[in-house]
Structure 1
Amino acid sequence: MRKTLLLALIVAGLLAGMAATRWLSLPPPLRANNAAGQFDAVRAKARLARVLGNEAPHPADSAAIDGVRERLIAEIRALGLQPRVTDRFACNKLQKSSGVSCARVRNVLVTVGTPASAPNLLINSHYDSVPVGPGASDAGLGVAAMLETLALLKDRQLPRQLTFLFNEGEEIGLIGARAFLDADPLSRRIDALINLEARGTTGPVNMFETSVPNGAAVRLFKENVRNPVANSMAVSAYRLLPNSTDVNTFVEERDWLFLNFAPIGNETRYHSPGDDLAAIDLATLQHMGDQLLEVGGALASGATPEKRDSDKLFMSIGTRWLLTMSAISPAFLAVLLVVGLCIDFVRRERRTEALPVATAMPLLLLVLLVPVALAWAGLSLVGTLREGQFWRAHQTTSELAIYAGVIAAGVALLAGMKRWTLPQLRRAWWLLFVLIGVLFSVFAPGAMVYFLLPPLIFVIGTASRTRKPAAETAGSLLAAMLLFVTLGAALGLVQDLINSGPLWLLALLGGLVLMPWLIEARPLVEGWRWSRVAAVALAFAVLAWVPAAVAPAYSADRQQQWTLQYVVGAGPDQPLWSVVNDRKPLPSEWAGFGPWRQGTLPFSTRPRWLAPARPVAGLVPARALPVEARATPGGRRVRLRLQSNGADSIALIAPPAAVIAGLGIPGQLRAVDRGAKGPYSLTCTGRSCDGQVVELSVGPRPVVLQVVGTRWALPAIAAPLVAARPANARPQYLPDASITIERVQI
């Protein structure tokens, strides 16, 4: 009974600890009072509120962004500074895809500091929003942080110049960054960049990307930031993702030292109407501003560090320390740990005549993988009953169900490993842990930083056991604690990062954090009948899903993705209604607007609900009219004139099988990546697209283009559907829109 109670307390403590992982990297609390020269988040948010005005969406080259720009300029002038505005129609290659995006953009720039021959520091963020939301965090947080930092630095005697670039067009393809590189002479005087972004509205501001090699940038960050949140695993992983920021365009042509910052908490408001001023966490804004002021002030006060340093691995511990090590050191340390652990358990096995520790490693790997299967099964079962992102409003309930599965499987499987002693399981686990780290580092080299110190502490403990028998147990517990505050803190950030899925990945990462604790708890189930342990563990794992199965899927804060579109020209039949949501079945109130079916549209492979719609008079499609074609070696150069006919965005889409070498406008033909997946696309956004001539470099064979015109508004007949949209549902990523599809052969 005593063992049962102790085991129950340990399980409860482990679940509480996993629920608290997000708290390991919270931004510093909002200061009640700021000293002279300190960043003031309240004042910064007030500046942003004046810039955003009525908080209407303000995409690039729209009437709404004209007002935002005027208010931004007025805010800078109120500081006694005179900004300059550049105006350019520009095209930029879409990062990591076979597309090009074009628009007319107006960048706002202001420079402070002592004029000198030394290169400038560039501080960059964008002031345009997506058409579906006001962009108060993305990237209003960056605008607010820059304005407040500008106010604090403008009167300092800085030995070098700082240029603050508020760019337009990031959301439609990083076009403002491209316009700055192509046409602004100042871009040739830059040698360092601080970029501010956002993928959420709350939480710590992560430094998630650095220049390569990163030694100089990481040292700069470590020496000047008081509350660092960063790790090299995230930096490595980000390079594998399709996401991009202005940095991707800047570093394509410039060898700048750079740091990239963004918060990722509560992504459910990101790129939606929920990204408003009310959602901004002042502590998050303060964390961004403090880091900008600390790093920017350091760079403005001295020369930019040389980039010749080798790469560093790094991780923050809490928000107080940043641990760094040479990128070469982990390889040697990993080898030493593997050798040391192997020697230790070989010597010990000769004395104990027990089964070799190596035979326990495949079973421990199974203990890691079984919870992944349990998590997938739990998510699939509850998803079948409820469908949609049922965890969206209360993600912690699903996370705890996943971690409960890890604990249940771990206890049951470890209880069945009766032939292995506790010391053997410890050695087998930490050796396996190091090898898993080596495997992770093949795909994300920065991950190895998390797989060295805990096993090193354990090895030190085992080496001391001859003098102090309790040292091994102490070393094992200390290693588990360090793993929780390092990898556990990273897991807390990952939970926010993958809140749209796949959540089963948390079972693997959670298993790495929980395993040493489960091994230490194994003696509590020794002597128990295995079938009983397995039955109780299975019941616990199943019951843990009950809160996730009954908790509301959506809330006013964390709403369901729900975009309604009216589409004309998708096929020979009548127009269609399109609903893009998280694949949740439509509510019964929508049956009268049906019949609904799952399908796709010609310009997108994303699954959606489709239903016939009535024709609407006066909705004229956007068009692309051929104006010139001339032969080139191996193909043709074709020019077309765009007619928007009221569309806010026009996309020319060619099939993946087409031979396309370049897309853009005359004088700005951008080479496209033929190796990228998906169709080729040339997109023009904004008022200035009407009448704009675009250019395509194509092969000798005819190509049929889809001309997709998008209006960021619905026709009047959509009013009943909008009214029937569920209460806690809103557009995200894609705006409610009217879409026309034409085809033209070139």
Structure 2
Amino acid sequence: MKQRVVWFVAAMVVAVVLAIMATTPPAPDTATSNPVEPSTERAFAHVERIAAQPHPTGSTTNAVVRDYLVGELEAMGLSVETVSGTLDEAGQAKLDYWRDKSSETPTEFVNVIGVLPGADPTLPAVALMAHYDSVWGSPGASDDAAGVASILETVRAIAAAGPVERDIVVVLTDAEELGLVGARQFFGENPLAERIGAIVNLEARGGGGVASMFQTSPGNAEVARVYARTVDHPSTSSLATYIYSVLPNDTDLSAALDRGGYAAFNIAFIGRSGLYHSPLSTPENLDRGSLNQMLGQTHALALALANAATLPRETGDAVFFDAFGLATIVYSPWIGWVMLVLGIGGYALAWWRRDRTERGFVSGVGRMAALILVGGVLLYGLNLVSGAGTGAGYYDRLAAIPKLTTMALLVVLGLAVALWGRGTTGFAQRSGAATLIALLAIAGQAMAPTAAYVIVVPVMLIGIAAAVRSLADDRWGRLAAAIVAALVTGYMLSLGFQVMQGVGPTMPYGAMLPAAIGILCWLPLWPRIPQPHIVAIVLLLGATAVALWVRFDPVPPSVAAYSPLKPG
């Protein structure tokens, strides 16, 4: 038993370290005097100028920001033009709501377009795009001054290094917050849109966290491979691109993808979500590590694309994900079937070598099903207790994400202890639990192969570990189980964290699948817990207390100034 506890603790420590690596942006760089290297400090200086005050479309502060951007681009040697238009009816209505007054005439928006000439202007150009307007009442340091600043510093560094092969087109749109108005005008009317072959768009929904490539153009295999070989501190996932494709969310890149014909990379950070559209989204509150990672990815992609002999073409979609921020793994979807054969084959081998009369298979299926279903129901109910549902304040809920994440973690731990706290799981019971997950993996691989890796890869690793344990002595078997538990749980912890960041305020039960996969890895190492049902009850009561805390917590000062639940 003591050895099992040692393996359990060691694997858990490694898993937590890996999860922290996956969810923490690299530290900002120190000041550099090398003019051809991008500098976070120089980018942050732009953020301070752009996000000095709120600057919504049509405001005098927005005009000041625009003049600053034009001056900076011209000083870098770009040819710059401003292209104006008027808001459509929906955009004007939203702006009028923010200002709490009606406009007699449509408000003007102004895009800033710059071109850094390349060696061969006949080649398709590379576009770097972000929006420079903010919402009403927010300085917009993250959304989207960080994106604009990353582009400015990227272009400055590239211009200082000398000409690249392709033109770089800087597209700084206005009125994104009012319905992507500036982007739709550019891709619908500007002749430059026809010259572009690849786009890097930058966004944010929060004040920090890892800068992640969460969306691509269709047929993204070549796009993913360019990202994999170019970006040093990656954060990306074909699961995220799949989920985003079915959500009703938009960025400026949507206007480009509606037109089609571009190789596209959409990069954003969504951590510290309470700062989204917040009066507190100031330069001082911006995570400089997030800015550093966004800048690094933008510069690397822009440089690689601008010097590429050919730009990524639309081919088939690929499976891709970053391994704890260290590297990006890319492979063809059909390989998922090979992984499933390896994983299921590994369990089959282990079953054949064991006492096949051992009971507990049905119990394992039932317990894993109970974990997922009961956990989902509990999180759905506790989310309602926390104040979700009709009338909930969107920005208030975003600010509650850290507490909601704690609530979800307590539910998962409470159910895991209740179901497996006695530490008596045999191989048959573990096989039953694994069978349910394997069936979900097969279904996922059949219906959404680019997203299913999140189940398929763990099934493969768990099956291989089961085979090793059946063939080797107990020491090597426990080592294999501990390695798999650390790797899979590290990824599932980071994935669960990202799920809560993305949809936690409305769908915290989305974290149950990563939780179930992670717990499956721990069953061979699970130690006996004294009084497990009492521990489980305490954990579930703790989750309930957190839900009530969220419900009765005062509305935070971070909520958007135009929110119905604004302070005061």
**Aligned sequence identity (%):** 23
Once the two structures are superposed, residues 558-611 of structure 1 have per-residue CA deviations (whole angstroms, 9 ceiling, x without a partner) of 5464767xxxxxxxxxxxxxx823xxxxxxxxxxxxxxxxxxxxxxxxxxxxxx
Per the alignment, in what secondary structure is the counterpart of residue 464 of structure 1?
helix
Q: 1:372 aligns with which of 356, 371, 376?
A: 376
Q: Using CA pairs below 8 Å that are at least 6 residues apart, which structure has the higher relative contact order? A: 2
**Which residue of 2 is the match for residue 45 of structure 1?**
44
**Which residue of 1 is the match for residue 497 of structure 2?**
492
Per the alignment, in what secondary structure is the counterpart of residue 110 of structure 2?
strand
User: Distance in 2 between the 1:275 and 1:437 partners?
Assistant: 40
**Which residue of 2 is the match for residue 144 of structure 1?**
149
Amino acid aligned to 2:30: A
Amino acid aligned to 1:87: S
User: Distance in 1 between the 2:561 and 2:23 partners?
Assistant: 33
**Which residue of 2 is the match for residue 310 of structure 1?**
316
1:39 deviates by 1.5
1:18 deviates by 6.7
8 Å CA contact 2:222–2:315 kept in 1: the answer is yes
Q: 2:429 aligns with which of 422, 425, 429?
A: 425
User: Distance in 2 between the 1:129 and 1:505 partners?
Assistant: 31
Per mean C-alpha deviation after superposition, the further-off stretch among 262-271 and 406-415 is 406-415
User: Distance in 1 between the 2:4 and 2:387 partners?
Assistant: 34
Per the alignment, in what secondary structure is the counterpart of residue 271 of structure 1?
coil
1:117 aligns with 2:116: no
Q: 1:483 aligns with which of 482, 488, 491?
A: 488
**Which residue of 2 is the match for residue 580 of structure 1?**
564
1:255 deviates by 1.1
**Which residue of 2 is the match for residue 510 of structure 1?**
515
8 Å CA contact 1:14–1:514 kept in 2: the answer is no
Amino acid aligned to 1:461: A
Per the alignment, in what secondary structure is the counterpart of residue 122 of structure 1?
strand
User: Distance in 2 between the 1:63 and 1:232 partners?
Assistant: 41
Q: Normalization by structure 1: what TM-score?
A: 0.66
1:188 deviates by 1.1
**Which residue of 2 is the match for residue 77 of structure 1?**
74
Per mean C-alpha deviation after superposition, the further-off stretch among 315-324 and 125-134 is 125-134
Once the two structures are superposed, residues 6-26 of structure 1 have per-residue CA deviations (whole angstroms, 9 ceiling, x without a partner) of 979969996996799455321
Per the alignment, in what secondary structure is the counterpart of residue 519 of structure 2?
helix
Amino acid aligned to 1:541: L
**Which residue of 1 is the match for residue 32 of structure 2?**
34
**Which residue of 2 is the match for residue 218 of structure 1?**
224
Equivalence map 1:532-543=2 (5 Å): 533-543=532-542
User: Distance in 2 between the 1:65 and 1:548 partners?
Assistant: 40
CA shift in 2, pair 1:182/1:400, >3 Å? closer
Q: 1:271 aligns with which of 259, 266, 277?
A: 277
Amino acid aligned to 1:105: F
User: Distance in 2 between the 1:132 and 1:16 partners?
Assistant: 43
Equivalence map 1:651-662=2 (5 Å): none
Name the Cα RMSD after superposition: 3.6
User: Distance in 2 between the 1:320 and 1:84 partners?
Assistant: 40
User: Distance in 1 between the 2:397 and 2:174 partners?
Assistant: 35
1:117 deviates by 1.0
1:464 aligns with 2:471: no
1:181 deviates by 2.1
Q: Normalization by structure 2: what TM-score?
A: 0.85
Equivalence map 1:326-365=2 (5 Å): 326-338=332-344, 340-342=346-348, 344-345=350-351, 347-348=352-353, 351-355=355-359, 357=361, 360-365=364-369
Amino acid aligned to 1:245: T
8 Å CA contact 1:19–1:396 kept in 2: the answer is no
Equivalence map 1:519-530=2 (5 Å): 520-521=525-526, 524=528
User: Distance in 1 between the 2:560 and 2:261 partners?
Assistant: 41
Per mean C-alpha deviation after superposition, the further-off stretch among 149-158 and 330-339 is 330-339
Equivalence map 1:151-166=2 (5 Å): 151-155=156-160, 156-166=162-172
8 Å CA contact 1:129–1:171 kept in 2: the answer is yes
**Which residue of 1 is the match for residue 98 of structure 2?**
none
Amino acid aligned to 2:228: K
CA shift in 2, pair 1:189/1:162, >3 Å? same
Once the two structures are superposed, residues 191-232 of structure 1 have per-residue CA deviations (whole angstroms, 9 ceiling, x without a partner) of 111111111111110100111111110011001100000011
**Which residue of 1 is the match for residue 63 of structure 2?**
66
User: Distance in 1 between the 2:376 and 2:17 partners?
Assistant: 18
8 Å CA contact 2:342–2:464 kept in 1: the answer is no
**Which residue of 1 is the match for residue 95 of structure 2?**
none
Query: Which ranges of structure 1 fall in alignment gaps of 5 or more residues?
Result: 95-101, 565-578, 582-721, 727-746
**Which residue of 2 is the match for residue 55 of structure 1?**
53
CA shift in 2, pair 1:321/1:206, >3 Å? same
Equivalence map 1:608-627=2 (5 Å): none
